Structure 1
Amino acid sequence: MGAALLMPYWFLLMVLVGPSPLKGPWSVGAVVLLPIPAAVVTGLVAGVRQMEGTAVKELLGGPLAAMNVPVARTLRARLGTGLWFSLHLHVGVVVGAASLALPPFALVLAVFPFFGWGVDDPRSPLYAWKHSPYQWLGPPAGLACVVALLGLIVVAGRTLAVLAPRFLGPTPEERVAELEEQAAKLAERNRLARELHDSVGHALSVVTLQAGAASRVLDRDPDFAREALTAIEESARAALADLDHVLGLLREDKARTTPQPTLADLERLVEQTRIAGVELDHGVDAAVAGIPAAVSREAYRIVQEGLTNALRHAGKVPVTLRITVADDRLNVLVANPLSGPPGRTRAGGGRGLGGIRERVTVLRGEMAAGPVRGEWRMEVSLPLMSGA
Structure 2
Amino acid sequence: MGAALLMPYWFLLMVLVGLSPLKGMWGGVAVLLLPIPAAVVTGLVAGVRQMEGTAVKELLGGPLAGMNVPVARSLRARVSTGLWFSLHLHVGVVVGAASLAVPPFAAVLMLFPFLGWSMLEDERGVLHAWKGSPYQWLAPPAGLACLVALLGLIVIAGRVLAAFAPLFLGPTSEERVVELEEKAAKLAERNRLARELHDSVGHALSVVTLQAAAASRVLDRDPAFAREALTAIEESARAALTDLDHVLGLLREDKARTTPQPTLADLGRLVEQTKLAGVELDHSVDDAVGGVPAAVSREAYRIVQEGLTNALRHAGKVPVTLRITVAEQRLHVVLANPLGGTPSRTRDGGGRGLGGIRERVTVLRGDMAAGPDGGEWRMEVSLPLMSGA
Equivalent residues of 2:40, 2:83 under 8 A apart: yes
Shift of 1:161: 1.5
Q: Which residue of 1 aligns with 2:92?
A: 92
Give me the whole-angstrom Cα distance separating, in 2, the residues matched to 1:9 and 1:198.
Answer: 64
Equivalent residues of 2:370, 2:380 under 8 A apart: yes
Give me the whole-angstrom Cα distance separating, in 1, the residues matched to 2:17 and 2:47.
Answer: 30
**Does residue 40 of structure 2 align to residue 40 of structure 1?**
yes
Give me the whole-angstrom Cα distance separating, in 1, the residues matched to 2:204 and 2:120.
Answer: 99
Q: Which residue of 2 aligns with 1:146?
A: 147
Shift of 1:340: 4.6
Q: Which amino acid aligns with 1:106?
A: A
Q: Which residue of 2 aligns with 1:169?
A: 170
Change (3 A) 1:60 1:118: closer
Equivalent residues of 2:46, 2:71 under 8 A apart: yes
**Does residue 194 of structure 2 align to residue 193 of structure 1?**
yes
Equivalent residues of 2:80, 2:168 under 8 A apart: yes
**Number of residue-to-residue matches in the alignment:** 382
Q: Which amino acid aligns with 2:42?
A: T
Change (3 A) 1:281 1:106: same
Give me the whole-angstrom Cα distance separating, in 1, the residues matched to 2:381 and 2:103.
Answer: 80
Give me the whole-angstrom Cα distance separating, in 2, the residues matched to 1:11 and 1:363.
Answer: 65
Segment of structure 1 superposing worse, 87-96 or 168-177: 168-177
For each residue in 1:98-147, what CA deviation from the matched residue of structure 2 results, as whole angstroms up to 9, or x when unmatched?
Answer: 11111222223333342214779987886544464434433332222222
Give me the whole-angstrom Cα distance separating, in 2, the residues matched to 1:3 and 1:87.
Answer: 11
Q: Which amino acid aligns with 2:281?
A: L
Equivalent residues of 1:119, 1:130 under 8 A apart: no
Segment of structure 1 superposing worse, 34-43 or 274-283: 274-283
Segment of structure 1 superposing worse, 194-203 or 247-256: 247-256
What does 1:1-388 correspond to in 2, within 5 Å?
A: 1-113=1-113, 114-117=115-118, 127-130=128-131, 132-340=133-341, 350-388=351-389
Shift of 1:381: 0.8
For each residue in 1:35-86, what CA deviation from the matched residue of structure 2 results, as whole angstroms up to 9, or x when unmatched?
Answer: 1111111111111111111111111122222222221222222222111111
Change (3 A) 1:356 1:158: same
Equivalent residues of 1:3, 1:89 under 8 A apart: yes
Change (3 A) 1:123 1:248: closer
Equivalent residues of 2:317, 2:341 under 8 A apart: no
Change (3 A) 1:150 1:373: closer
Change (3 A) 1:123 1:97: closer
Change (3 A) 1:186 1:369: same
Give me the whole-angstrom Cα distance separating, in 1, the residues matched to 2:121 and 2:200.
Answer: 99
3-state SS of paired residue (1:350): coil
Shift of 1:231: 0.3
Give me the whole-angstrom Cα distance separating, in 2, the residues matched to 1:380 and 1:236.
Answer: 28
3-state SS of paired residue (1:18): helix
What residue ranges of structure 2 are gaps of 5+ in the alignment? Answer: none
Change (3 A) 1:120 1:92: closer
Give me the whole-angstrom Cα distance separating, in 1, the residues matched to 2:387 and 2:218.
Answer: 46
Segment of structure 1 superposing worse, 58-67 or 356-365: 58-67
Give me the whole-angstrom Cα distance separating, in 2, the residues matched to 1:370 and 1:152.
Answer: 69
Change (3 A) 1:118 1:219: closer
Q: Which amino acid aligns with 1:187?
A: A
Give me the whole-angstrom Cα distance separating, in 1, the residues matched to 2:235 and 2:365.
Answer: 34
Equivalent residues of 2:321, 2:336 under 8 A apart: yes
Q: Which amino acid aligns with 1:174?
A: E
Equivalent residues of 1:210, 1:229 under 8 A apart: yes
Identity %: 85
3-state SS of paired residue (1:379): strand
